[in-house]
Structure 1
């Protein structure tokens, strides 16, 4: 897998297809593998899809340094990566696989498809901090203040602060985040498994330094702002085509996407791709032994609809390279076996 060294540490990335560049950043702290199916679909539609493991994600190096927030680091490093790949300006799209809001972890349910939900920080901050590098922003199932911000802070930062205070960096490696099931691999242990160099990086770290940086990154996420550390004034300064798709769940409330489109000039809002009725049906099914087929079908449906929306938007605002499918399948057109 290709790698590049930025500011002394290694980032892993891959490029699929040719055409207008789209940087695909996983939501949460996911790795680039979960974006590969979407990248392949976009490449088939005529785009150059760039996927990457951010710092502290996937197989890239663990880097805990201060100065700015983790999201701002991500934005700056995304700009450097795009520049090195001669891929500016690019569309910035963030997402992850899975339906986190349905709390299906630990029930033997495998995720499928390319469902997309987002911590909007990286893509928005890339457009804000490096506007010359971005030709459009695609935000789907946007998370934000207050529930989403609290969720991010607890699962990405504060739980590991408590672990470091309790048992140093070895305890950090062993710590499960609140959103993880007991049988899941701890986040930092996974970073070591995917990149063995990270074991020495983590264990040699001063716990007090780690705590200070984690607390500052958490504070950025929780600070009073319009969306997850991004101010209303910063959003209003964005001058590229922007799409925001509502999430429709507690972690990704639809009103957050609506707030984005209220402020970003000319931004387009799209309602959630999964209806409230569909969510209710899945929630009812979730507690039965045969939940897996329903979850799989929901993921497939979410993937189909989201891809159609993205391609239709890109075809409208771009050079016309996209080959959108026949259109988003209507809810009534989909036969469910509930």
Structure 2
């Protein structure tokens, strides 16, 4: 189907459904502040749809063409709540929750908050560890705090940055967003960003940013974890092993892409030859086998 919109918690969410109408619904959640149309996402969705799945792609708040939203304990918690309400609006009872990179964190939190809505959980490229976590503080929060304190919301509206992360791009893709930021205002924007920053302060009891280890005990669904690459500094192997240890009964599998696939994708993207998530389509056979078991 073509893109559709639904209002959730006072903000519009853009989504689409791909694949047979009678297929089991699989939600794919990418990482960063990248939308559903970023390279590699549709390729993964098309592969799962060819395997008989009904794939839900969505622009999370602060991604793609959906409305900007600022609420919740962390950005991942906000997105998890948004997905729960989106599924209610669409009349979808249960899904297979699948996500990579920041989307892995979003889907882990979603499964914790809405266990009744998740039949299975699949994650890959999980962020964790000191370098990765502190790097994301810079990607998501620190520039925002500098700009809001020195230039106010008008500065945020013009704030660019790495592809997929700029508020200027969000305002260009969705003209409502500039006015939404003005309505939020300087004080509230700074207050929320300061709260969200806490998720990216490395803590000894958090394998992944903003999620205390004890909360993983809430996950009781079959879970697949694709191991992080040996050379993947943004999604380290160690973190996938820690998450595997924290989710009782989870299955850890070898990556279906090269150990340095992320670094290759970063290099290619920098050179204008591809997208960060291009390798993800290689996971289609692994994911279909897990879903169909």
Q: What SS does structure 1 have at the residue aligned with 2:184?
A: coil
RMSD across aligned C-alpha pairs, in angstroms? 2.6
Q: Which moved further from structure 2: 117-126 or 160-169?
A: 117-126
- Is the contact between residue 49 and residue 55 of structure 2 (CA under 8 Å) also seen in structure 1? yes
* Aligned residue among 109, 120, 131 for 1:136: 120
Is 1:49 equivalent to 2:55 in the alignment? yes
Give the greater-gyration-radius structure (CA).
1
User: Cα gap change, 1:226/1:201 in structure 2, threshold over 3 Å: closer, same or farther?
Assistant: same
User: Cα gap change, 1:2/1:304 in structure 2, threshold over 3 Å: closer, same or farther?
Assistant: closer
User: Cα gap change, 1:277/1:55 in structure 2, threshold over 3 Å: closer, same or farther?
Assistant: closer
Give the 5 Å matches for 1:1-338: 1-17=3-19, 18=21, 19-34=23-38, 35-65=41-71, 67-95=72-100, 117-177=101-161, 180=162, 187-222=166-201, 224=203, 225-248=206-229, 249-276=232-259, 282=264, 302-316=279-293
Aligned partners of 1:56, 1:314: CA distance in 2, in Å?
29
Q: Would you say how many aligned residue pairs link Structure 1 and Structure 2? A: 280
Shift of 1:64: 2.0
Aligned partners of 1:255, 1:10: CA distance in 2, in Å?
37
Shift of 1:124: 0.7
Gaps of 5+ in 1: 96-116, 317-338
- TM-score, normalised relative to structure 1: 0.76
Shift of 1:277: 6.9
Aligned partners of 1:40, 1:265: CA distance in 2, in Å?
31
- Is the contact between residue 138 and residue 244 of structure 1 (CA under 8 Å) also seen in structure 2? yes
- Is the contact between residue 56 and residue 63 of structure 1 (CA under 8 Å) also seen in structure 2? yes
Aligned partners of 1:200, 1:299: CA distance in 2, in Å?
31
Aligned partners of 2:243, 2:209: CA distance in 1, in Å?
12
Shift of 1:147: 2.0
Shift of 1:133: 0.4
Aligned partners of 2:188, 2:81: CA distance in 1, in Å?
22
Aligned partners of 1:92, 1:118: CA distance in 2, in Å?
13
1:184-211, Cα deviation, whole Å (9 max, x unpaired): 5871111111111111112343212211
User: Cα gap change, 1:298/1:26 in structure 2, threshold over 3 Å: closer, same or farther?
Assistant: closer
- Is the contact between residue 134 and residue 240 of structure 1 (CA under 8 Å) also seen in structure 2? yes
Aligned partners of 1:278, 1:198: CA distance in 2, in Å?
34
Aligned partners of 2:91, 2:182: CA distance in 1, in Å?
36
Aligned partners of 2:8, 2:160: CA distance in 1, in Å?
29
- TM-score, normalised relative to structure 2: 0.86
Aligned partners of 2:115, 2:262: CA distance in 1, in Å?
37
Shift of 1:171: 1.6
